[in-house]
Amino acid sequence: MSAPSLQPPPAAATRILDRIEALARVSEQPDGLTRIYLSPQHAQANALVGGWMREAGLAVHVDAAGNLVGRREGERPGLPCLMLGSHLDSVRNAGRYDGMLGVLTAIECVAALGPRPLPFAIEVVGFGDEEGVRFQATMLGSRAVAGTFDPALLDLRDAGGTTMREAMAAFGLDPSAVGSAARRREDVLAYVEYHIEQGPVLEAEGLPVGVVTAINGQQRFRIQVDGMAGHSGTVPMRLRQDALAAAAECVLAAERIAAGLPDAVATVGQLAPSPGATNVIPGRAVFSLDVRSPRDADRMRVAAAIVDECRAIATRRRVAIDIAQTHELSSCACAAWLQDQVAAAIAADGHRVLALPSGAGHDAMAMVALTDVAMLFLRCRDGISHHPAEAITAEDAATGARVLQAFIERFEPRA
Ligand code: GLV
Ligand code: MN
Ligand code: MN
């Protein structure tokens, strides 16, 4: 990363970073950041960020899916909008920039526009769910806005057994009205998301920002293995049906299979054996599986091979296996006309334009069902993300804000 500027960071970057700190304190646990969909912390974040939106002159509401939406009218009320934003939820024990930086920077850019009317409206959205931590299905907020939220998802349960339907009602939403969060195609000119890169490429290139070409597709599964619990001291090894041992073999199979195709990745990030006692053979193991690739055909091939192998392992080990796909999103291309405009804003700020793909998922993948999308990436320290060590410099925060501002000011809707 470049040496920190000796100049004090501009006021906009200072305000963005101060707000990032304040928002990071809205967390399930006091010593780290965890903020999941439809939680009390989600409501607190909407209230806090909604206040900053109002200060920036935006008219604010929470939509039928719990997304926070701020709108600035254009030359006359009701014009189609340029939609900016990202998500306000986090993974468990998260970094504080993933998602939040894009929302708070967009608010700052809108504030900097002042009263000058533009020939289009601007909306800043803080999506309620991108990470999918609570219900396994991801991008619930942006899917609702894009009109692709499947009402069957309302029956998904969180780890505590609460359905999404119940969680929405507890949040003050009407689960039967989620569809009304969907926006009309003619009302949205484009969706542009500013986000930390979450990888090491920009840092390695010595660049603060880059323009995204495409986002890798992804699939997620919930896999449950049922064997037989028993006494750890009395059941001989040859007579066991250990669900955790079977799951462990599945984890290694996923690693091996994904490693066999270039650019494909597979991750088991959750694994819960039960009943969970030192002296009891695990009778059940439930684990997650996340598979990604820039090429959808490869991703599907890897996922299918892992699923087949998990079934074969279960048969050989005489355990039952239930494999449910909870989520699938195709890879998403960023629109060339929008990439050109993001690239022009980067160049106008004096940087070489680097175009790069995104390995991480983003709300833009859901929004592409509604409108053309593009992304501006900001470098982050050591490429670390989904970790409390996620970091950016104040100088880079200022650069990202300037570039996004330049993009907004020069934005030309597609002819
Ligand atoms: C979201 O950050 C994802 O890539 O899963
Ligand atoms: Mn994330
Ligand atoms: Mn994110």
Q: What is the domain-level CATH number for residue 300? A: 3.30.70.360
pLDDT the model gives residue 7? 60
User: 4 lies in a domain?
Assistant: no
One-character DSSP codes across 109-153? HHHHHTT---SSEEEEEEES-SS-TTTS---HHHHHHHT---GGG
Q: Domain span at residue 384? A: 9-215+331-409
Minimal-distance CA residue to ligand 1 atom 3: 361
How far apart CA 77 and CA 198 sit, in angstroms, is: 37
Q: Which of 320, 318, 222, 226 is nearest to 281 (CA)?
A: 226
Tens of pLDDT, residues 240-252 = 999 999 999 999 9
How do 68-72 and 271-274 pair as beta strands? unpaired
How far apart CA 271 and CA 177 sit, in angstroms, is: 34
Does one domain contain both 248 and 378?
no
Diameter of the chain measured on Cα atoms: 78
How do 284-293 and 373-378 pair as beta strands? unpaired
User: 43 lies in a domain?
Assistant: yes
Does one domain contain both 224 and 295?
yes
Q: Binning pLDDT at 50, 70 and 90, where does residue 296 land? A: very high
How far apart CA 133 and CA 129 sit, in angstroms, is: 8
Does one domain contain both 148 and 55?
yes
CA of 401 to the centre of ligand 3 (A): 17
CA of 97 to the centre of ligand 3 (A): 8
- The number of helix segments (H) and strand segments (E) in the chain equals 11, 16
Tens of pLDDT, residues 312-363 = 999 999 999 999 999 899 999 999 999 999 999 999 999 999 999 999 999 9
User: What residues pair up with 9 in beta bridges, in sequence order?
Assistant: none
Burial 52-83 (b: 16+ CB within 10 A, else e): bbeebbbebebbbbbbbbbbbbbeeeebbbbb
Among all bound ligands, the one having the nearest atom to the CA of 87 is: 3
User: 325 lies in a domain?
Assistant: yes
One-character DSSP codes across 82-94? EEEEEE----TTB
Ligand 1 atom nearest residue 292's Cα: 4
Ligand 1 atom nearest residue 198's Cα: 2
pLDDT the model gives residue 3? 43
Does one domain contain both 152 and 116?
yes
Ligand 1 atom nearest residue 290's Cα: 5
Domain count within the chain: 2
Does one domain contain both 342 and 317?
no
What does the DSSP 8-state code read for residue 176?
G
Does one domain contain both 364 and 339?
yes
Which of 219, 362, 380 has most ligand 1 atoms within 8 Å of CB, for mutation?
A: 362
CA of 364 to the centre of ligand 3 (A): 10
The mean pLDDT of the chain is 96
Does one domain contain both 84 and 62?
yes
Does one domain contain both 175 and 239?
no
Ligand 1 atom nearest residue 386's Cα: 2
Ligand 1 atom nearest residue 91's Cα: 2
Q: Binning pLDDT at 50, 70 and 90, where does residue 4 land? A: very low
Does one domain contain both 318 and 403?
no
Residue 103, helix vs strand vs coil:
helix
Does one domain contain both 117 and 170?
yes
Which tokens belong to 315? 């048969």
Which of 92, 96, 138 has most ligand 1 atoms within 8 Å of CB, for mutation?
A: 138
pLDDT the model gives residue 1? 47
Which residues, chain by chain, have CB under 5 Å from ion ligand 3? Answer: 98-99
pLDDT the model gives residue 8? 65
What does the DSSP 8-state code read for residue 240?
-
Which of 375, 386, 387 has most ligand 1 atoms within 8 Å of CB, for mutation?
A: 386
75-98: average pLDDT? 98
CA of 32 to the centre of ligand 3 (A): 17
Residue ending a domain, among 290, 306, 329, is 329
Tens of pLDDT, residues 42-71 = 999 999 999 999 999 999 999 999 999 999
Tens of pLDDT, residues 161-183 = 999 999 999 999 999 999 999 99
Contact 209, 402 (CB under 8 A): no
pLDDT at position 218 over 70: yes
User: 251 lies in a domain?
Assistant: yes
CA of 401 to the centre of ligand 1 (A): 23
How do 81-87 and 121-127 pair as beta strands? parallel
Kindly list the protein residues whose Cβ atom lies closer than 6 A to any atom of ligand 1: 131, 360-361
Minimal-distance CA residue to ligand 1 atom 1: 361
First vs last Cα of the chain: how many Å apart?
Answer: 38
pLDDT at position 99 over 70: yes
User: 262 lies in a domain?
Assistant: yes
Among all bound ligands, the one having the nearest atom to the CA of 290 is: 1
- Residue 51 sits in a domain of what CATH number? 3.40.630.10
User: What residues pair up with 355 in beta bridges, in sequence order?
Assistant: 211
For residue 101, count other CB atoms closer than 10 A to its CB. 26
CA of 192 to the centre of ligand 3 (A): 13
CA of 361 to the centre of ligand 1 (A): 4
CA of 6 to the centre of ligand 1 (A): 34
pLDDT the model gives residue 115? 86
Ligand 1 atom nearest residue 361's Cα: 4
Residue ending a domain, among 283, 299, 329, is 329
Q: Binning pLDDT at 50, 70 and 90, where does residue 232 land? A: very high
pLDDT at position 224 over 90: yes
Ligand 1 atom nearest residue 98's Cα: 2
Contact 317, 241 (CB under 8 A): yes
Residue 324, helix vs strand vs coil:
strand
Residue ending a domain, among 283, 312, 329, is 329
Does one domain contain both 231 and 315?
yes
153-157: average pLDDT? 96
User: 264 lies in a domain?
Assistant: yes
Tens of pLDDT, residues 14-34 = 999 999 999 999 999 999 999
pLDDT the model gives residue 2? 46
HSE toward the beta carbon, residue 84, CA cutoff 13 A: 31
Which of 35, 131, 292, 375 has most ligand 1 atoms within 8 Å of CB, for mutation?
A: 131
CA of 252 to the centre of ligand 2 (A): 24
User: 312 lies in a domain?
Assistant: yes
User: 285 lies in a domain?
Assistant: yes
Does one domain contain both 346 and 260?
no
CA of 230 to the centre of ligand 2 (A): 39
Ligand 1 atom nearest residue 138's Cα: 5
